[in-house]
Amino acid sequence: MAAQSARLLVYFLTAAWLAVENEYIALASTTLSLRLIHRFSDEAAKALKFSPSETNGSAGVSSWRKKSKDYYRVLLSNDLHRQKMKLGSHYQLLFPSQGSNTVSFGNDFGWLHYTWIDIGTPNVSFLVALDTGSDLLWVPCDCIQCAPLSGAYYSSLDIDLNEYNPSDSTTSKHLSCSHQLCESGPNCKSPKQQCPYNINYYTESTSSSGLLVEDMLNLASGSDNTSNTSVQAPVIIGCGMKQSGGYLDGVAPDGLLGLGLGEISVPSILAKAGLVRNSFSMCFNEDGSGRIFFGDLGLATQQSTSFLPLDGTYKTYIVGVEACCIGNSCLKLTSFRALIDSGASFTFLPDEVYEKTVNEFDRHVNATRSSFEGYPWKYCYKSSLQELPKVPSVTLMFPLNNSFVVHNPVFIINGSQGVDGFCLAIQPTDEDIGTIGQNYMTGYRMVFDRENLKLAWSRSNCQDLGDSKTMSVTSPPDGTPSNPLPTNEQQRTPGGHAVSPAVAGRAPAKPSAASTQLISSRFCLLRLLPELLLLLNIISAFKANTGIL
């Protein structure tokens, strides 16, 4: 009897397996197909229940097929809508609600570029420094130790600067220690505690600390040749209760807008929210004016070079310079990595590259070497003319013969009778990574294409940026004096920036062949699930009838 039952079990199992195997083979040999229906066909209109008004009046769907002018109008409208969806952003460009203009106030404000931004509801205005070398947007807030905010303290301002108070904004929210962007979370006593922050910048004793909040950053868009559209974007803001070092001496007294690659930076948040493409541009003009646009990918004709990872991750905007060129001579062994840092007033080269570059410049310049008291640069020259004499060009060469010609490589020293002299505006650093500061970006539209991890540039007067002619902008306060000359104490040290370990989110790569096969296998298993359940039922029934399992 047991032998007979065993043979019966084998029969059932074999039959069940053959059924499953045949189903698998049939599935593998089956070609799946779908019938395509045009979205504006009669059938589509009926299936989607278009009303007569939506299908060209009382004629209904029959006239829809005749491709009337309304047909083409709707078709074009939908194409444009799909194009915007493809771009993955709501707006082509965004800029601060007071305008895209930026400005340098010279020595009063550390030779950095600033722009006015509006935060909170009701909004409060802040004059923030633009820093591609750091990530966090912070402003003076509930101050314990902040820089003076009285306009009378600064010769460049005729209005007072503001202090942020989160309790005065109806849209502010505390950021808890459990938030994914709270780096100090592990050190908090409770997950519900408000997230603290503390940024120590490279410059000695320069820092900002306080608490993180979320509030609205007021922006504007004018990308459709219409009046500007107001946009409110929730961003993370550092409530800077305590500053030190340079931040008490005129550098970013009213806050700093970090534009780095970290997830907490404003460009990262705007792109992640789908408001703009993951890119932004800044332009610096010779007169100290400039522009900033979020979402700007630049021109098709611009030159570019790839960003380089640091310790295997893309933490900040680092590029690889292949050679420094003076005039027509490109110097050997002058390759180096450089941080593109708008938060550094001037440019710094690693020691060995610096020596080769300045010596070659000195060999080509037709002027007498001199020194000027109080100026940090070593290679300075006396001028006997009232105007700047011709100086050799300085060019940075990037891979694929992409050249970056420095528009104005020297710093002019003016006297009572005109130009007294000039200095090559480069300083050495003992770091392996140099810094290309804003002085060497002058005359360029610099595009930080985070989407493609590239730095791009094109010559610009800062007035020809995309749709900027249709954008109404609000200028910073009038009465900005000519920039006074910097002193040793007022220069930023190389790499004056903070780098967040957070890395901006990147689009996932295409799935590998292995992952595609895994997905296909899982689909087949799911497709065969009914047959496998049938097999289990047969075994269970056999067990109940024979009692041998």
Active site residues: 131, 341
Distant-in-sequence, close-in-space partners of 331: CB < 8 Å, separation ≥ 6: 323, 324, 325, 356, 357, 360
Question: Strand, helix or coil at 236?
Answer: strand
Distant-in-sequence, close-in-space partners of 193: CB < 8 Å, separation ≥ 6: 176, 177
Q: For residue 115, list its beta bridge partners.
A: 128
Helix (H), strand (E), coil (C) string for 521-544: HHHHHHHCHHHHHHHHHHHHHHHH
Radius of gyration of the chain from its Cα atoms, rounded to whole angstroms: 32
**Quick one: tokens of 203?**
């410059």
Element (H, E) at 230: strand 229-244
Q: Residue 289's closest CA among 460, 155, 422?
A: 460
DSSP 166: G
Q: Residue 292's closest CA among 489, 80, 448, 87?
A: 448
Q: Residue 260's closest CA among 506, 440, 500, 507?
A: 500
- What are the φ and ψ backbone dihedral angles of 347, each rounded to 5 degrees? -110, 140
DSSP 134: -
Question: Strand, helix or coil at 313?
Answer: strand
Q: Apex CA 273: angle with CA 269 and CA 276, to 5°?
A: 85
Length of the chain: 549
Alpha carbons 105 and 154: distance in angstroms, whole number: 10
